[in-house]
């Protein structure tokens, strides 16, 4: 029995494999981190992420919970140690908590170090206790402003009070919360120091993200781009920022703000190259594996599993995809069209 219904389970066995990273790409990088988008749908419509009237994918194209479990578990069996569930908004996917409950077996077996999620926080108050109960110890919550009117405008209808209640609930359950803030030249540039202070005062790390040219939205994105190099320089005028060595293998660089004592991450995919140490790949909610956020490389793992592939054939397909992981990305904000046509909500942030 699967935890979802009474169809036969097809999880890849992790028991017979030797532990340790075995997914090594063509440039010698070990892939140990998988992000999985569990849905393209969302209860918000952030202006930099989605168009106001989005056409979402037909249900048949989206992986079932069993398929998501099978694919994620196959990667765990191949040495992935960290799994981040994202979307769209993961907490609006029907049956999401059953998926978390099922995947938590890899935490208990020791195959996985961390099961985590990125959420807009709007449903977090309701689900925080369940998440903590299934071993989720950290969540990333996206929050671009504390101003109710601006939040409503940026998310096209969201309520910032619900997000803050969600953060409160997660922290009350003992989870570490990291705030993700997209830096927007015209909307929140002035509020960034206040957001950092607010996050650090409540014991949260905060990471600033440059807007990335992913997917068509309703406006000119070059106009919103705010270089974090400039933000860092501005913050340095009144704060002491000390570099902290980074061990995440991701695009974030971290600094400690001496005055607040908190950690600040800066994700600068456009103005900084982070590809040499990249340890991650992304699986979309349609089962497409992207081995680089900034390129259009893609492997259709849904086709593999829906063709009836057995575990060995699935593993072969994963190895083939990983071996062609590109050396680096291809972003250019000045380009009039997105470097990558897919939306962040499909790929998973
Ligand atoms: N709905 C969840 C959330 O908002 O946290 C998870 C998915 S969302 C696509 C993941 C992250 O991607 C969020 O922090 C969001 O701000 C960020 N994001 C979305 N579109 C982006 C873009 N074009 N450039 C940079 N970050 C983006
Ligand atoms: Fe939804 Fe997250 Fe995209 Fe905002 S950033 S529209 S919350 S998926």
DSSP β-bridge partners for residue 302: none
CA nearest neighbour of 283 among 34, 32, 13: 34
Cβ of residue 211 lying under 6 Å from some atom of ligand 1: yes
> What fold characterizes domain 33-347?
TIM Barrel (3.20.20)
Tokens standing for residue 113: 């170090």
For the stretch 37-79, pLDDT in tens is: 999 999 999 998 999 898 999 999 999 999 999 999 999 999 9
Mean local confidence (pLDDT), 133-142: 98
CA nearest neighbour of 299 among 280, 324, 279, 276: 324
For the stretch 216-234, pLDDT in tens is: 666 665 678 888 999 999 9
Q: For ligand 1, what atom is nearest to the CA of residue 86?
A: 6
User: Cα separation of 318 and 31, whole Å?
Assistant: 11
Residue 84 annotated as part of some ligand binding site? yes
Q: Where are any strands of DSSP class E within the chain?
A: 33-37, 82-86, 114-119, 138-142, 176-183, 205-210, 241-244, 252-257, 263-267, 280-283, 288-290, 299-300
User: Cα separation of 40 and 57, whole Å?
Assistant: 7
Cβ of residue 50 lying under 6 Å from some atom of ligand 1: no
Q: For ligand 2, what atom is nearest to the CA of residue 122?
A: 7
Check pLDDT > 90 for residue 204: yes
Task: Give distance in angstroms: CA of 10 to centre of ligand 1.
Answer: 31
Concatenated DSSP letters of 46-75: -TTT--SS--PPPGGGSPPHHHHHHHHHHH
Task: Give distance in angstroms: CA of 109 to centre of ligand 1.
Answer: 31
- Whole-model pTM: value is 0.90
Question: What is the pLDDT at residue 270?
Answer: 59
Residue 319's H or E segment, with its range, is: helix 311-323
Atom 3 (ligand 2): residue with closest C-alpha?
49
pLDDT band at 279 (very low <50, low <70, confident <90, very high): confident
Q: Which of 14-28, 171-185, 328-342 has the highest mean pLDDT?
A: 171-185
Question: What is the pLDDT at residue 342?
Answer: 58
Question: What is the pLDDT at residue 336?
Answer: 40
Mean local confidence (pLDDT), 157-179: 98
């Amino acid at each position: 029995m699967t935890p979802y219904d009474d169809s036969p389970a097809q999880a890849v066995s992790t028991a017979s494999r030797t532990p340790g990273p075995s997914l090594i790409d063509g440039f010698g990088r070990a892939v140990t981190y998988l992000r999985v988008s569990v849905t393209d749908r969302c209860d918000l419509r952030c202006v930099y992420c989605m168009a106001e009237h989005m056409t979402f994918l037909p249900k048949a194209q989206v992986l079932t919970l069993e398929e998501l479990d099978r694919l994620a578990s196959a990667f765990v069996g191949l040495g992935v140690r960290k799994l981040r569930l994202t979307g769209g908004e993961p907490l609006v996917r029907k049956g999401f908590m059953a998926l978390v409950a099922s995947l938590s077996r890899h935490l208990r077996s020791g195959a996985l170090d961390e099961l985590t999620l990125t959420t807009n926080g709007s449903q977090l108050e309701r689900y925080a206790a369940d998440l903590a109960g299934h071993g989720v110890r950290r969540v990333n919550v996206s929050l671009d402003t504390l101003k109710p009117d601006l939040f409503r405008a940026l998310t096209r209808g969201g309520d910032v009070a619900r997000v803050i209640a969600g953060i409160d609930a997660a922290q009350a359950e003992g989870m570490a919360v990291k705030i993700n803030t997209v830096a927007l030249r015209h909307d929140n540039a002035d509020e960034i120091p206040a957001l950092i202070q607010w996050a650090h005062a409540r014991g949260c790390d905060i990471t600033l993200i440059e807007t990335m040219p992913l997917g068509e939205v309703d406006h000119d994105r070059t106009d919103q781009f705010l270089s974090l190099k400039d933000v860092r320089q501005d913050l340095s005028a009144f704060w002491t920022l000390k570099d902290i060595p980074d061990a995440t293998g991701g695009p974030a660089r971290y600094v400690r703000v001496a005055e607040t004592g908190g950690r600040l991450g800066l994700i600068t995919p456009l103005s900084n190259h982070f590809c040499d140490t990249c340890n991650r790949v992304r699986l979309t909610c349609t089962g497409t594996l992207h081995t680089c956020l900034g390129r259009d490389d893609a492997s259709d793992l849904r086709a593999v599993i829906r063709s009836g592939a057995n575990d060995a054939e699935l593993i072969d397909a994963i190895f083939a995809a990983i071996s062609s992981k590109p050396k680096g990305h291809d972003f250019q904000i000045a380009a009039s069209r997105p470097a990558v046509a897919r939306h962040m909500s499909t790929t998973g942030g």
